[in-house]
DNA sequence: GTGAAAGCGCTAACAG
DNA sequence: CTGTTAGCGCTTTCAC
């Protein structure tokens, strides 16, 4: 029968039980210093530690060393399906390197500062930010506090912080190239919020790609957010404000689905009357009607790479690239069709 | 211009700056003990603390008090869309009560123990478990270690741990009642893994409800997991092994979508040839073809309630119910139709 | 109401 | 190679 409560065995208990000084135990149990211990003592200590069920107290170690093996992650909305794979990547890297991850959902940007303050009180070793507006003062705040930090998914354009991102311009080029190959010329863009780096990058990607194809500049409607509702609203605005485009490139999948809603209301068929593309390849967009042509991102790897960069920096082996740009990939499904299909 | 690195101001700095003893500062800054401090001193201390940008060091406090204001959450797969809202609920409650949340993705059940050990080393105050098989030894382990813990989403049948769950039997009754009202009698069930509490509960719910309607017991095929692939496989088995049912009640949405895949392959139409129901109402199942009739769960509230129970227990005000059962809700869409529709 | 002193469990000089 | 010693920043007696 086991004891009712964990009896908290400390380094001293292990020491007396194995007849050595407690600092010897401390050394023996630290991979970095264990080599300076004689083989016999080392084995003895390890054995008794195991037998007694010793668990190091990280709080004590943290107080002494200033390192908690803990990082914070700031996400805007964990229910947005792009973030779970990113988090998974971060967490996998953290687990592999002996860190733990505090996840905070920063619904309202106003909350970022207080949350960050509390995280600092918890003595986090570093921070992964999946939030941040363009020129966000938060970035300066983080740097001024000497906090190790990296960004993921969204990059800070000024490069003040290392980042792991997908190539937004390439992503949109892939979409436009695909539509161009299908014969479309009048392409519109439902753009993301222009105060967010990805919103700008993707819009520029569309514009650049269309320019390269010698098309007229796209009609652009900015969405208020990356949501289905915002997509509906933007699509309504687009339909109301001019001739119907042949295709519409959307800043993300949710916006594309919002566009679907409005097009259906308006009696327009996708892709016969109008082609639609998304971005993210979130789960189930292959099951919607019609299956959505979109851009797939290596979300999990984005998270993994961001975390690796952060840990390297924390541990002082900061050789890693300052910005990692990963390649997105076009996934063709049934929401795009050749122009003369109608 | 701000200092390059945070100069870590401590309680002593605040003390000398305000000309009092550091223990007075400690008292003044603790809501629970601040009342014993004279008004003038209190205000002075608060003011200087603010001026110096004092941040309490939780690691020190943790070492002294044994409380870290940190909890761990074990989820099987954060990319499964049921978990993000649960996490969000947990995190919202935690933020409101001054706690932080370690999230660990326990892909392989084998990993649970080592992860838990590491969390204990980090001195977590409590644990929320969204994993656990039936009669999982992990539950005993947690209790024997005197760890405060609650379960969420999946309950331990033996009631060894408090839990916040949805009423699985009711959920399946809602589905069966709905199908019965549409005139169906030959209903099959694609069941969840029978080593998981929810798998059993839902199967029993279907069986009980059908019994109550005086129907013959359902044909049941067990899925290997709660995934689309497992749903495909189970649906294949079902079609191959007997007469075609009029309706199939699925243990969750992903399984239902797997069933869609196979029915489409087989040239069967949903709902004309066969009605299908899901469970969870995950994002976008209203956009698939046809939109899925399913059961909606209060996932966010599940997480919130679980966390609240945990914090109450940690803080010793353990008046809360031991098990909270929340009501699921039927969402009728287009994957179910009356029997004579065909 | 405030000061003094001890110590949580650990690491990191410094001796020997 | 191992023992000694001194704190990390905080809370918590115990005095006054």
End-to-end CA distance of chain A: 76
A62 chain-B contacts, CB cut-off 8 A: 59, 62
For residue A171, the Cα-to-chain-centroid distance in whole angstroms is 17
Contact B56, B77 (CB under 8 A): no
Between strands B323-326 and A100-105, the pairing is unpaired
Please determine, for residue B127, whether its predicted confidence score (pLDDT) is greater than 70: yes
Whether residues B287 and B173 share a domain: the answer is yes
Whether the CB of B338 is below 8 Å from some CB of chain A: the reply is no
Whether residue B337 lies inside any domain: the answer is no
Quickly count: other Cβ atoms within 10 Å of residue A230's Cβ.
21
Note whether A176 and A94 are same-domain residues.
no
In terms of domains, do B191 and B262 share one? yes
CA separation for the pair B113, B276 (Å, rounded): 38
Residues A290 and A304 occupy one common structural domain: no
Indicate whether B342 belongs to any domain.
no
Range of weakest confidence among A37-41, A254-258, B179-183, B219-223 = A37-41
Q: How far is B256 from chain A (nearest CA, A)?
A: 12
**pTM beyond 0.85, yes or no:** yes
* Residue B117 within any structural domain of the chain: yes
**CA A146 remoteness from chain centre:** 22
Over residues A84-90, mean pLDDT: 97
If you measure CA to C1', which residue is closest to nucleotide D6? Answer: A64
pLDDT over 70 at B248, yes or no: yes
One domain for residues B179 and B149: no
Q: How many CA atoms lie within 13 A of A276 on its CB side?
A: 33
D5 C1' to A148 CA distance, Å = 33
Q: What is the pLDDT of residues A10-65, one digit of tens each?
A: 999 999 999 999 999 999 999 888 888 888 899 999 999 999 999 999 999 999 99
d(C-alpha A24, C-alpha A26), whole Å? 5
- Among the listed residues B263, B262, B293, the one whose alpha carbon sits nearest the alpha carbon of residue B277: B293
Positive or negative torsion for Cα A63, A69, A75, A81: negative
Interface A-B: count of C-beta contacts within 8 A? 146
Q: Which of A6, A257, A282 sits opposite B145 (nearest CB)?
A: A6
Residue window 76-105, chain A: list those with CB within 8 Å of chain B.
78-79, 81, 83-85, 87-88, 91-92, 95, 98, 100-105
Angstrom distance (rounded) from CA B206 to CA B173: 6
Q: What mean pLDDT comes out for the span B84-106?
A: 96
Say if residue A155 is in the same domain as residue A189: no
Which residues of chain A does B65 touch, with a Cβ-Cβ cutoff of 8 Å? none
Residue B12 CA to nucleotide D16 C1', Å? 22
Backbone angles phi, psi at A137, to 5 degrees: -65, -20
Q: Are residues A238 and A202 in the same domain?
A: yes
* Radius of gyration of chain A from its Cα atoms, rounded to whole angstroms: 26
Q: Give A245's contacts (C-beta < 8 A, 6+ positions apart).
A: A186, A187, A188, A219, A238, A274
| CATH number for position B21 | 1.10.260
How many CB atoms lie under 10 A from the CB of residue B3?
10
Residues of chain A numbered 152-211 and touching chain B (CB < 8 Å): none
From the CA of A124 to the C1' of D10: give the distance in Å: 18
Listing DSSP states for B319-332 in one string gives TS-SEEEEPPEEE-
Which comes out higher in pLDDT, residue A171 or A322?
A: A171
Residues of A in contact with B98 (CB under 8 A): 118
Q: Spell out which residues of chain B touch residue A6, defining contact as CB-CB under 8 Å.
A: 120, 145-147
B18, B50: one domain:
yes
Entry field: residues in chain B:
342
Share of chain B above pLDDT 70, in %: 96
CA of A22: nucleotide with nearest C1': D3
Contact B326, B302 (CB under 8 A): yes
Partners of A146 on chain B (C-beta within 8 Å) are: 4-6
Q: A4 lies in a domain?
A: no
Q: Is B283 on the interface with A (CB under 8 A)?
A: yes
Task: Give the torsion sign (CA, A79, B228, A228, A156).
Answer: positive
Domain coverage including residue B130: 65-166+299-327
Per the domain annotation, does B193 fall within a domain? Answer: yes
Question: Residue B32, Cβ neighbours under 10 Å: how many?
Answer: 7
- Cβ-based neighbour number of residue A136 at 10 Å: 21
Beta bridge partners of B189: B220, B249
Evaluate whether residue A142 is within a structural domain.
Answer: yes
8 Å CB contact between B203 and B188:
no
pLDDT tens digit sequence for A280-323: 999 999 989 899 999 999 999 999 999 999 999 999 887 666 89
d(CA B54, CA B22): 13
User: Is the residue at A3 inside a domain?
Assistant: no
Say yes or no: B181 and B212 in one domain.
yes
Q: Considering only CA atoms, which of B110, B109, B90, B111 is closest in space to residue B101?
A: B90
B42 plus B143 within the same structural domain: no
What pLDDT shows up at residue B317? 82
Q: Is residue A94 located within the same domain as residue A137?
A: yes
The beta-carbon neighbor of B6 closest among A62, A98, A145 is: A145
Please identify residues in chain A, positions 31-70, with a C-beta within 7 angstroms of any atom of strand C: 56-57, 60-61, 63-65
Could you give the number of structural domains in chain B?
3
CB A196 under 7 Å to nucleic chain C: no
One domain for residues A236 and A277: yes
Catalogue the E-assigned strands of B192-303.
219-222, 247-250, 275-277, 294-296
Domain membership flag for residue A178 = yes
> Residue B145 has what pLDDT?
86
Indicate which CATH number applies to the domain containing B242. 3.40.50.2300
Residues with Cβ within 8 Å of residue B203, at least 6 apart in sequence: B172, B189, B191, B192, B194, B220, B251
Alpha helical stretches, state H, chain A = 11-18, 22-28, 39-52, 58-65, 83-96, 112-121, 137-144, 168-181, 197-212, 228-240, 253-265, 299-314
């Amino acid at each position: 029968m086991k004891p009712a409560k964990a009896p908290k065995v400390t380094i001293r208990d292990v020491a007396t039980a194995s007849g050595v000084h407690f600092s010897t135990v401390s050394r023996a149990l630290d991979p970095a210093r264990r080599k300076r211990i004689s083989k016999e003592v080392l084995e003895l200590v390890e054995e008794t530690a195991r037998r007694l069920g010793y668990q190091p107290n990280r709080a004590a170690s943290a107080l002494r060393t200033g390192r908690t093996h803990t990082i914070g992650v700031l996400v805007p909305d964990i229910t947005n399906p792009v973030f779970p794979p990113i988090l998974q990547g971060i967490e996998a890297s953290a687990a592999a390197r002996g860190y733990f991850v505090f996840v905070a959902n920063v619904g309202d940007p106003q909350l970022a500062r207080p949350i960050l303050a509390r995280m600092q009180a918890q003595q986090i070793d570093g921070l992964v930010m999946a939030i941040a507006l363009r020129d966000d003062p938060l970035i300066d705040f983080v740097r001024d506090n000497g906090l190790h930090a990296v960004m993921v998914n969204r990059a800070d354009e000024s490069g003040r912080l290392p980042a792991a991102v997908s190539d937004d311009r390439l992503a949109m080029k892939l979409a436009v190239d695909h539509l161009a190959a299908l014969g479309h010329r009048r392409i519109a863009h439902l753009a993301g919020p222009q105060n967010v780096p990805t919103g700008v990058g993707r819009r520029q990607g569309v514009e650049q790609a269309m320019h390269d194809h010698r098309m007229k500049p796209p009609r652009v409607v900015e969405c208020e957010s990356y949501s289905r509702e915002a997509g509906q609203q933007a699509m309504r605005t687009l339909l109301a404000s001019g001739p119907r485009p042949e295709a519409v490139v959307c800043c993300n999948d949710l916006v594309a689905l919002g566009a679907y809603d409005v097009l259906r209301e308006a009696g327009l068929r996708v892709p016969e009357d109008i082609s639609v593309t998304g971005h993210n390849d979130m789960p189930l967009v292959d099951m919607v009607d019609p299956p959505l042509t979109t851009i797939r991102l290596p979300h999990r790897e984005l998270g993994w790479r961001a975390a690796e960069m952060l840990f390297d920096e924390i541990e002082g082996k900061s050789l890693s690239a300052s910005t990692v740009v990963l390649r997105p990939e076009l996934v063709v499904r049934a929401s795009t069709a050749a122009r003369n299909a109608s």
